Structure 1
């Protein structure tokens, strides 16, 4: 069984991370190819926040990037099968003027055909390109996705990130915060 990776609704708006600097464009991440960087990507929380509460999350909201905590990065760095599907890019986060290292930005390397287009509800993003990119109002996954994977981008809708049942269980067992399971 597969699941959509969805960030939790109880994530405060003032905890959003803003991309400050780096050599990666968020659109590069949709290519599912290895990215080489020389320096960590830099993100910033623009408002004064509770550092302790913010750092209690493992997944962070950021436009175009999936940022994970140092704790989750350490847990995933030891999983060779996960690392076949996802590249961990070094990232630093500035919180209340303090630079924090050890964060990672996820670069998903695997693409998976997993959305049942007949049962899902979608519409073209551009009216004049009816067979072009689509926006999905409702996603229904295919019943039997046979591929062995941990995390992937949907081939049909690149904004949709899916995780396997084994990764979901891993997140539950390790009390991962910041996503809906």
Structure 2
């Protein structure tokens, strides 16, 4: 089976980070190609929150890409198979002016055709190109994927999908804030 990478439903809205778009854009992360950065990506949060509770999560949401904790990053960096398929980009998290290091952003280096276009809902991105790129309003994943992978981009979408291998890895390492749907 494959699953869309999603955060737990109890992820607080107050933990929504702002992504500083200087080095790369979301479009760069959709190319499935290695990215070379001179500086880490920067995410900021300027709200009164429990920093201890916030830092207990393993995956975080932003107005840009999602990013992961130093704990999960270390676990994944030590998995040779995973790092062949996914580049982990350095990120700095700034919470109320204090910098935290060791965070990473996923950059899957492969894409797979995993959207069930018959069951998904979409519309043309451009009215002038009805057969061109699609904007998906509801994505249903195919479950007949036989490729051996850990994480990939869904072809034609910004959606990241994970395999049973990564799901099992997360369960074995007590990563609880990723939902497997």
Asked if Structure 1 and Structure 2 have the same fold, meaning a TM-score greater than 0.5 normalized by the shorter chain, the answer is: yes
In 2, distance between residues paired with 1:104 and 1:64? 13
The answer to whether the aligner puts 1:71 opposite 2:81 as a matched pair is no
Give CA deviations for 1:73-105 in whole Å, capped at 9, x if unaligned.
Answer: 000001111112110111110112211000011
In structure 2, the partner of 1:37 is 37
**More deviation, 18-27/67-76:** 18-27
In structure 2, the partner of 1:169 is 168
Give CA deviations for 1:30-62 in whole Å, capped at 9, x if unaligned.
Answer: 111100011211111121211011001111001
With the length of structure 2 as denominator, give the TM-score of the two structures. Answer: 0.92
Shift of 1:139: 2.5
In 1, distance between residues paired with 2:150 and 2:50? 32
In 1, distance between residues paired with 2:51 and 2:143? 42
**More deviation, 58-67/131-140:** 131-140
CA spacing shift, 1:80–1:63, aligned 2, 3 Å? same
Root mean square deviation, CA, Å: 1.5
In 2, distance between residues paired with 1:79 and 1:113? 25
Tell me, which stretches of 5 or more residues in structure 1 are unaligned? Answer: none
Mapped contact 1:153–1:160 kept (Cα < 8 A): yes
Tell me, which stretches of 5 or more residues in structure 2 are unaligned? Answer: none
Q: Tell me, what secondary structure is at the counterpart of 1:180?
A: strand
Shift of 1:164: 0.3
In 2, distance between residues paired with 1:154 and 1:133? 13
Give CA deviations for 1:120-148 in whole Å, capped at 9, x if unaligned.
Answer: 22222333321222232333322321111
Mapped contact 1:43–1:93 kept (Cα < 8 A): yes
Shift of 1:21: 5.5
Mapped contact 2:32–2:110 kept (Cα < 8 A): yes
Shift of 1:22: 4.0
In structure 2, the partner of 1:178 is 177
In structure 2, the partner of 1:94 is 94
- The aligned length equals 180
The answer to whether the aligner puts 1:111 opposite 2:111 as a matched pair is yes
The 5-angstrom pairing of residues 1-181 of structure 1 reads 1-20=1-20, 22-157=22-157, 159-181=158-180
Q: Tell me, what secondary structure is at the counterpart of 1:105?
A: strand
In 2, distance between residues paired with 1:133 and 1:167? 29
